[in-house]
Amino acid sequence: MSQQNDWKTKSKETVYDNPWIRVEHHEVITPGGTDGIYGKIHFKNLAIGIIPIDEHDNTWLVGQYRYTLDEYSWEIPMGGGPLDIDPLLSAQRELQEETGISAQSWEVLMKIHTSNSVTDETGYIYIATDLSYGETEHEDTENIKIKKLPLTEAIDMIHSGEITDAITIAGILRYARHRANSKTI
């Protein structure tokens, strides 16, 4: 199996552009040598997710209606971070804006690609601990509800299908595994 790029780009054209994404149409030669097309969504920000954990193993979820899905979604605090800014700074900002929480300790839990068949979006998920609490600063586009709950309940919400957001699922399950492995000797 080749780990190099076997795709050849013949041409690409921007078909849509806004402050958050650019949609491109590519004429390509496939790895099999045939002519093809590819659509690519380029994200102009990183996806940033944060799992705040307190001393009692509680975390926080934010709930909001997601326009694109036309349904309500429970998620870890998350948002976008400019590509040219340290993702940690974006994580710190997002956690404070959405939950009012600040953290003294930060750890990168994982890097994630959200939907790599159509987009180049890259995300980072952080664990935030040593928490302090303040006021939220929600944006005009956000009508957020905040839920504090034991981490085990968030895991149950994933298994019951109540949480469907991919970044949230990946982050919480990875953290649960990370935590379980660090407690075994």
Q: What is the pLDDT of residue 182?
A: 78
Please determine, for residue 180, whether its predicted confidence score (pLDDT) is greater than 50.
yes
- 27 and 55 inside one domain: no
pLDDT band at 48 (very low <50, low <70, confident <90, very high): very high
Distances (CA, A) of 40 to 17, 22, 96, 119: 12, 8, 32, 5
The whole-angstrom separation of Cα 4 and Cα 162 is 39
For residue 69, what is the domain's CATH number? 3.90.79.10
Domain count, the chain: 2
pLDDT band at 82 (very low <50, low <70, confident <90, very high): very high
What is the average pLDDT across 43-57? 97
Q: What is the pLDDT of residue 137?
A: 86
- 22 and 107 inside one domain: no
Q: Confirm whether 3 is domain-assigned.
A: no
The predicted-structure confidence for 9-36, as pLDDT tens digits, reads as follows 999 999 999 999 999 999 999 999 999 9
Please determine, for residue 171, whether its predicted confidence score (pLDDT) is greater than 90.
yes
- 54 and 99 inside one domain: yes
Q: Confirm whether 87 is domain-assigned.
A: yes
- 94 and 147 inside one domain: yes
Q: Confirm whether 177 is domain-assigned.
A: yes
The whole-angstrom separation of Cα 120 and Cα 43 is 7
What is the average pLDDT across 124-132? 98
- 135 and 74 inside one domain: yes
- 37 and 51 inside one domain: no
pLDDT band at 178 (very low <50, low <70, confident <90, very high): confident
- 84 and 103 inside one domain: yes
Q: What is the pLDDT of residue 185?
A: 40
- Mean pLDDT value across the chain: 94
Please determine, for residue 39, whether its predicted confidence score (pLDDT) is greater than 70.
yes
- 107 and 84 inside one domain: yes
- 57 and 146 inside one domain: yes
Q: Confirm whether 2 is domain-assigned.
A: no
Q: What is the pLDDT of residue 142?
A: 76
Q: What is the pLDDT of residue 146?
A: 95
Q: What is the pLDDT of residue 30?
A: 92
Least confident of 62-76, 137-151, 155-169: 137-151
What is the average pLDDT across 84-107? 97
The predicted-structure confidence for 53-76, as pLDDT tens digits, reads as follows 999 999 999 999 999 899 999 999
> The domain containing residue 38 runs over which residues?
8-43
Q: Confirm whether 179 is domain-assigned.
A: yes
Closest by CA to 182, choosing from 57, 45, 46, is 57
- 35 and 89 inside one domain: no
Closest by CA to 154, choosing from 27, 22, 47, 63, is 63
- 174 and 141 inside one domain: yes
Q: Which residues on neighbouring strands pair with residue 165, listed in sequence order?
A: none
Closest by CA to 53, choosing from 119, 123, 101, 5, is 101
Q: What is the pLDDT of residue 143?
A: 86
- 14 and 56 inside one domain: no
